Structure 1
């Protein structure tokens, strides 16, 4: 990477232990940042959309214990609760957990599905002729096989995401407080007909996902506009993706400076028993990447929390003012 490219990457936020982004990641961030600076997302055709609920309360970063009956995350008075899907185990003759969707891939899937739902206004989404083509469309250009390869992980995360049940809960604590819950799944119907052996080969039938009414209605009614080029740049860090989506969402409504306490941020973006000091450093490292592709965001880590000042949104506002 050229020295000029390195100079465009933001310096680490004050107090961060890591002073630089890995060169390979910095190069990708620089490439996407240059494209974003030259042309806005709508003109470039890279405007995407995420569901508001899954921006406020996010998926796991690492794989939770499969034996957990439910997994959840809380942001303010809003909680996301996930129950994994189950599949029959031929060896034991019982049903076992498929595991939880986690990491980067489900986030890229949700962004792509949300974008297609808003673009077509159709619940039935065609995924593409081949798995390779679909992986390219969600921003995964490296197609590797084997047990831990990207091809295997994409198929697995798709199955986990579409088989799981979710609920958004608001309130409920303390006793007697207002309470509301909305249960939903991402998809009502999933058909994946791609070849397992050859990701380049087109399936005999179209691979499709039919979005659930609740997920479709929310994404169409209250979409959070994002730049898919930013997600491509951040694709190796699920927390960076979450911070990016959350910051541009906050900036659609932020009218005055505010500080989000570390305790609140840990509930929304933390991972369970992680020490607060370690969590702060993780946020600072992720923020360093976010600011490379969203330099207009004014977000500064302080002793009290993350200090936000009203900033331009990552994607320009539309006339409809999403």
Structure 2
């Protein structure tokens, strides 16, 4: 258990927040306390590919989004509307939350057909995300971008290069808008269907995450990416593993100007890393100031026996 969690057990969150001197310390305490107080241990699911690469954090006009991590490279291309204009790439925390919902529900039900409307709205509300007004429009925009974009994974294999073209979903992805009194105002598409290729790959490369951790990080896309990465990496390690700042920037440095100094990325990464570790009490991550981070073997955020109960297909 990380130091922040030990301190909460010893002194309590309220006492520690009173003594906290920065906003980051207070956020860290709130996230750690929220995860530690979780009694339901609900599970979320994401594809392992998103533990190795990531979507943009901010809006971008790029024609192709490219992220690379070792032997794996992800390319994402925006789709086009009826007028032939690009709708843009999915980005930010809302796109990530929509994907988490779709992937989690698909594996829980064992079907690529996922219910939208009230079910998705209820999940978003449980994650602390409003689905009305401006927030609805943001979710709708990201849903449209996700439904129209295409992605290609490249990976090295036996001295050659392989690739796979696919989409997240087949057909349009539209949501139910909710009125202020909680009733449905408009129903577009009742269900979304993950593409067969993506669903098949998800079943073989699922990364379980803790729903309370996702909720605590729901508005922090970089911290959420780091949490998913740690959930994927740490429990399969057999010995401490160093990851350089160069490698970390290659994976998580989306949105940073190529000419920006490494110190700028390092400062931003470390702030988000602290929040990610706060949401993962078992995580053991050391910081080597000039070289990068050291990942140490530890338990996964979801116990294997819990995964077997909740997701027997995985």
Question: Residue 288 of structure 1: which of 274, 277, 280 is its match?
Answer: 274
- Give 1:205 deviation, angstroms: 6.5
Task: Name 1:180's counterpart in structure 2.
Answer: 162
For 2:191 and 2:181, the matched residues in 1 are separated by: 16
Following superposition of structure 1 onto structure 2, how do residues 77-88 of structure 1 map, counting pairs within 5 Å? 77-88=71-82
For 2:30 and 2:130, the matched residues in 1 are separated by: 14
Question: Residue 59 of structure 1: which of 43, 55, 60 is its match?
Answer: 55
Task: Name 2:24's counterpart in structure 1.
Answer: 21
Q: 1:304 to 1:195 in 2, by over 3 A?
A: closer
For 2:210 and 2:266, the matched residues in 1 are separated by: 26
For 2:15 and 2:74, the matched residues in 1 are separated by: 39
For 1:199 and 1:112, the matched residues in 2 are separated by: 24
Q: Given that residues 189 and 211 in structure 1 are in contact (C-alpha distance below 8 angstroms), is that contact kept between their aligned partners in structure 2?
A: no
For 1:246 and 1:208, the matched residues in 2 are separated by: 29
Q: Given that residues 235 and 300 in structure 2 are in contact (C-alpha distance below 8 angstroms), is that contact kept between their aligned partners in structure 1?
A: yes
Q: 1:309 to 1:4 in 2, by over 3 A?
A: same
Secondary structure in 2 matching 1:184: strand
More helix by share: 2
- Give 1:195 deviation, angstroms: 3.8
For 1:121 and 1:5, the matched residues in 2 are separated by: 39
Q: Given that residues 282 and 298 in structure 2 are in contact (C-alpha distance below 8 angstroms), is that contact kept between their aligned partners in structure 1?
A: yes
**Could you state the TM-score of these two structures normalised by the residue count of structure 1?**
0.82
The answer on 1:141 being equivalent to 2:121 is no
Q: Given that residues 132 and 200 in structure 1 are in contact (C-alpha distance below 8 angstroms), is that contact kept between their aligned partners in structure 2?
A: no
Question: Residue 304 of structure 1: which of 270, 291, 308 is its match?
Answer: 291
Q: 1:154 to 1:140 in 2, by over 3 A?
A: farther
Q: Given that residues 130 and 199 in structure 1 are in contact (C-alpha distance below 8 angstroms), is that contact kept between their aligned partners in structure 2?
A: no
For 2:30 and 2:143, the matched residues in 1 are separated by: 25
Following superposition of structure 1 onto structure 2, how do residues 141-180 of structure 1 map, counting pairs within 5 Å? 141-143=129-131, 145=133, 149-171=134-156, 178-180=160-162
How many residue pairs get aligned? The number is 294
- Give 1:31 deviation, angstroms: 4.4
Secondary structure in 2 matching 1:282: helix
- Give 1:69 deviation, angstroms: 2.1
The answer on 1:220 being equivalent to 2:203 is yes
Deviations 1:257-290 (A, max 9, x none): 0100111111110024243111111111001111
Secondary structure in 2 matching 1:192: coil
Question: Residue 64 of structure 2: which of 60, 65, 70 is its match?
Answer: 70
Q: Given that residues 130 and 200 in structure 1 are in contact (C-alpha distance below 8 angstroms), is that contact kept between their aligned partners in structure 2?
A: no
Q: 1:131 to 1:122 in 2, by over 3 A?
A: closer
The answer on 1:5 being equivalent to 2:13 is yes
Q: Given that residues 28 and 274 in structure 2 are in contact (C-alpha distance below 8 angstroms), is that contact kept between their aligned partners in structure 1?
A: no
For 1:192 and 1:199, the matched residues in 2 are separated by: 21
Flag structure 1 segments of 5+ consecutive residues without an equivalent: 13-17, 90-94
The answer on 1:34 being equivalent to 2:64 is no
For 2:60 and 2:229, the matched residues in 1 are separated by: 23
Task: Name 1:100's counterpart in structure 2.
Answer: 89
Task: Name 1:124's counterpart in structure 2.
Answer: 113
Secondary structure in 2 matching 1:249: helix
- Give 1:62 deviation, angstroms: 1.1
Task: Name 2:5's counterpart in structure 1.
Answer: none
For 1:6 and 1:64, the matched residues in 2 are separated by: 40
